[in-house]
Amino acid sequence: MSRTSRSTELWLIAGGLGVFALGMWVLGAAIDSPLLKFCGFMSGATTFVPMPADAYVLAASESITPLTIGVVGGLINGVIVLVEARWVLQLSTFSVFERFRQIVGSSRYIDLVERHMFLGLLFGGLTFLPFEPFRLVAIMRRYSYKLYFLATVLGRGTRYYLLASAGNVIADLGVIQYVIWGSVALFAFGLFRSYLRVGETK
């Protein structure tokens, strides 16, 4: 496949996902469907597009049941990571990523990660521990898509269910809006710290 064809596919995948996410959210807003808006938001909250998903889950818990949030959120995330996998694999074919491919292919740390891949993806999705490294290794080492999907659905689905359940309890206390804004603030602070770290490495 030529460089132009690969670039085109990258843009089509990213653009298609963006249009789908925005379309779902707009449709949900138009017909006043919190569930469709939730689907749209979660479709857009990918690994490479930082969005305050946890804060949105807390907000959505006021109108959507925790079980629905957990199941739907987990399934959407599972599908999205497979779309991301295709995007990353295509991106990695460019020569500029040769060094990255070599690291993933030879690092002892990567070998350790690979031996515990399912648990890493599962607990990474469930907790606040960073699990992007597990995702990248899973993609580059061609980890089973079925297991990748399952670990993501279980991890993220359980996380969203617990967050939504906590949101219901907090809502009964009358302070849900403060918790949501606090979550957004923590998310923004995390982005700012990441920006500073990137700046230090330049």
Write down how long the chain is.
Answer: 202
- 3-state SS class at 94: coil
pLDDT per position as a tens digit, 157-199 = 999 999 999 988 888 777 667 666 776 676 666 656 655 554 5
Residue from 164, 159, 144, 169 nearest 85 by CA: 144
Among 22-26, 41-45, 93-97, 133-137, the least confident range? 93-97
More confident residue, 178 or 122: 122
pTM attached to this predicted model: 0.81
pLDDT per position as a tens digit, 68-77 = 999 999 999 9
Distances (CA, A) of 12 to 16, 19, 20, 84, 134: 6, 10, 12, 12, 25
